């Protein structure tokens, strides 16, 4: 029985933030879930997204923990793999006690090809654990999120996307606190920005 | 030959003052502020006249721009020179202050005092006297400006419409006054460029007073700049010195982009302008018009 519960709990944890993230008692989130979002919270975008397990999620479900978020697309041959590697390096550079508290989120531009199944394949290919959330949404939702983050993107005739290479650090409320622009910078500013968000 | 239809009749009547915080004219340069003061006095007179009320009651017509093509300014490698643009409805003129006021009244989240700074910056509706009062600097029949992309989009959605895409806007704007190809009309390009040299007259003149182009669309030039739905597809950075080539490390795929026609100066201006925008910007001479798919 106990094992079943544990397995269930693990399953929930594995589906990403659909389940409440396990937060140590020391760091329990102070705000009530129903508290109104701050005026600068990007979680005001109340559009539905789907993760790589096919579950429907809202961005507001990320509330309560620091987030590192980037827009990408799975079939990108040029910069996205480097961008994701940069995020992986950032994660590795975090002190161990901080690493598990930060959620890494990848949102796809490619509304046509990046189905939940395609995102799942991408997760396996890039070896992304439960600390990573992979999302797809409708064109309007992606466009609005890109606008809020200042990400420019354009699909070309071959279906590839030209896009800004940046990732964004959000605080617990979903407010933008830092953006790392460009590829392969050393990432120390991002480590500092995340450190400031820790209790 | 042009089909036309009528949009919802604008609510051109001003409401009594509703208490909200007033805003100063602190943005903008000093000279402009002085000029505005003088113009404001004139505007009070113009605004008070019944003629303006009557004009703002005009229906907002749209015309069907037939299917055609558009030559993007910046083209990716392997992309065709011209991109097909299906037929679409385009408003004859930009959205006016009176029309936007009706929207804001019905949608309190888009009032100046309540809107989130993420969706509209501090300049939002900055020419209006109050949350729900236009005032002398925002004549009812003048195009609404200082609206963000988010706000323009919300307005369009509330009308069952949308913002035109870059391709649609440029397709409509490529028409001359007497033919579908403005570039072939003597003096057309010069007229378009002449606008860039004229300082903006404040308060802005009425929307819809401009000469209709071949498709029956007015004020694409000469009045205000306009939002397009996909303005963020212009892949240049805000740093002018970095724009000689597109920055490879900032834009994925940027190395493939090349410019179509360096002599199309007006198209360059628009592309540059769009690339400098962010979706929450509320800019003094930037308005919008709506489009719709047939």
The 10s digit of each residue's pLDDT in B84-142 is 999 999 999 999 999 999 999 999 999 999 999 999 999 999 999 999 999 999 999 99
CA distance B282 to chain A (A): 14
- How far is it, in rounded angstroms, from Cα A177 to Cα B118? 13
- Does position A51 have pLDDT exceeding 60, yes or no? yes
Higher pLDDT, A68 or B183: A68
pLDDT in tens, B204-245: 999 999 999 999 999 998 899 999 998 877 654 433 333 334
CA distance A16 to chain B (A): 27
Please tell me which residue of chain B has the smallest CA distance to A183. B249
Mutate to test the interface with A, among B118, B235, B236 (most CBs of A within 10 A): B118
Please give the mean pLDDT across all residues of chain A. Answer: 82
CA distance A4 to chain B (A): 45
- How far is it, in rounded angstroms, from Cα A145 to Cα B290? 22
Contact A147 B232 (CB under 8 A): yes
Q: Please give the average per-residue pLDDT across A181-189, as a whole number.
A: 75
User: A residues 103-132 near B, CB within 8 Å?
Assistant: none
Mutate to test the interface with A, among B253, B277, B278 (most CBs of A within 10 A): B253
Residues 6+ apart with CB under 8 A from B233: A152, A153, A154, B166
pLDDT in tens, B179-189: 988 888 888 88
- From the list A143, A158, A165, the residue facing B251 with the nearest CB is A165
- Does position B36 have pLDDT exceeding 70, yes or no? no
pLDDT in tens, B152-167: 999 999 999 999 999 9
**pLDDT value at residue B107:** 96
pLDDT in tens, A122-169: 999 999 999 999 999 999 899 999 999 988 887 776 777 777 778 999
**pLDDT value at residue B66:** 95
- How far is it, in rounded angstroms, from Cα A12 to Cα A5? 10
Contact B249 A183 (CB under 8 A): yes
- Does position B30 have pLDDT exceeding 90, yes or no? no
The H or E element spanning position B254 is none
B-chain CB neighbours of A42 within 8 Å are 118
A-chain CB neighbours of B234 within 8 Å are 152
- Does position B172 have pLDDT exceeding 80, yes or no? yes
- Does position B277 have pLDDT exceeding 60, yes or no? yes
Structure tokens at B239: 């740093």
- Say yes or no: A184 contacts chain B, CB-CB below 8 A: yes
Structure tokens at A112: 């046509």
A-chain CB neighbours of B80 within 8 Å are 157
Mutate to test the interface with A, among B250, B252, B281 (most CBs of A within 10 A): B252
Query: Tokens 């962010």 — which residue?
Result: B278
Structure tokens at B64: 């069907």
**pLDDT value at residue A119:** 96
Residues 6+ apart with CB under 8 A from A8: none
Highest-confidence segment of A27-41, B43-57, B249-263: A27-41
What is the interface pTM, i.e. ipTM, of the complex? 0.71
This prediction has a pTM of: 0.73
**pLDDT value at residue B90:** 97
What DSSP character marks residue A181? Answer: E
CA distance A61 to chain B (A): 19
Among B69-78, B90-99, B165-174, the range scoring the smallest mean pLDDT is B69-78
Q: Which residues of B66-77 are buried (b: 16+ CB within 10 A; e: fewer)?
A: eebebbbbbbbe
């Amino acid at each position: 029985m106990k094992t079943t519960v544990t397995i269930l709990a693990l399953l929930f944890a594995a589906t990403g933030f659909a389940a409440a993230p396990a937060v140590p008692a020391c760091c329990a989130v102070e705000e009530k879930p129903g508290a109104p979002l701050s005026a600068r919270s990007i979680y005001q975008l109340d559009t539905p997204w789907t993760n790589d397990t096919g579950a429907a999620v809202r961005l507001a479900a990320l509330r309560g923990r620091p987030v590192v978020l980037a827009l990408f697309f799975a079939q990108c041959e040029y910069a996205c793999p480097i961008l994701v590697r940069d995020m992986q390096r950032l994660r590795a550079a975090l002190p161990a006690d901080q690493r598990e508290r930060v959620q890494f989120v990848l949102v796809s531009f490619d509304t046509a090809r990046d189905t939940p199944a395609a995102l799942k394949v991408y997760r396996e290919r890039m070896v992304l654990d439960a600390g990573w959330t992979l999302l797809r949404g409708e064109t309007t939702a992606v466009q609005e999120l890109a606008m809020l983050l200042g990400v420019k993107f354009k699909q070309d005739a071959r279906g590839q996307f030209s896009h800004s290479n940046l990732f964004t650090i959000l605080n617990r409320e979903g407010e933008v606190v830092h953006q790392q622009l460009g590829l392969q910078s050393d990432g120390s500013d991002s480590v500092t920005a995340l450190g400031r968000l820790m209790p | 030959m042009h089909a036309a239809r009528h949009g919802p009749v604008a609510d051109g009547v001003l409401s009594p003052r509703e208490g909200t915080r007033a805003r100063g004219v602190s943005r903008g340069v000093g000279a402009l502020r002085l000029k505005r003061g003088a113009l404001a006095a004139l505007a009070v007179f113009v605004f008070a006249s019944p003629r303006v009320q009557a004009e703002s009651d005009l229906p907002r017509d749209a015309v069907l721009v037939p299917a055609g093509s558009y030559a993007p300014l910046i083209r990716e490698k392997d992309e065709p020179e011209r991109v097909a643009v299906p037929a679409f409805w385009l408003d004859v003129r930009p959205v006016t202050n009176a029309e936007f006021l009706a929207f804001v009244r019905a949608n309190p989240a888009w009032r100046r005092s309540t809107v989130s700074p993420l969706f509209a910056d501090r300049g939002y509706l900055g020419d209006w006297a109050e949350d729900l009062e236009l005032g002398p600097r925002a004549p009812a029949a003048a195009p609404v400006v200082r609206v963000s992309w988010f706000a323009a989009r919300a307005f369009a959605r509330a009308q069952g419409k949308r913002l035109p895409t870059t391709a649609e806007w440029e397709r409509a704007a490529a028409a001359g006054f007497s033919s579908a190809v403005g570039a072939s009309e003597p003096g057309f390009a010069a007229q378009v460029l002449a606008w860039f040299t004229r300082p903006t007259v404040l308060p802005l003149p009425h929307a819809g007073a401009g000469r209709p182009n071949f498709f029956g669309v007015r004020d694409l030039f000469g009045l205000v700049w306009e939002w397009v739905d996909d303005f963020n597809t212009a892949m240049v950075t805000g740093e002018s010195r970095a724009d000689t080539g597109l920055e490879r490390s900032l834009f994925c795929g940027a190395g493939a982009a090349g410019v179509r026609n360096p002599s199309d100066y007006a198209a360059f201006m628009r592309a540059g302008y769009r690339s400098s925008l962010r979706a929450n910007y509320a800019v003094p001479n930037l308005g919008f018009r709506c489009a719709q798919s047939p």
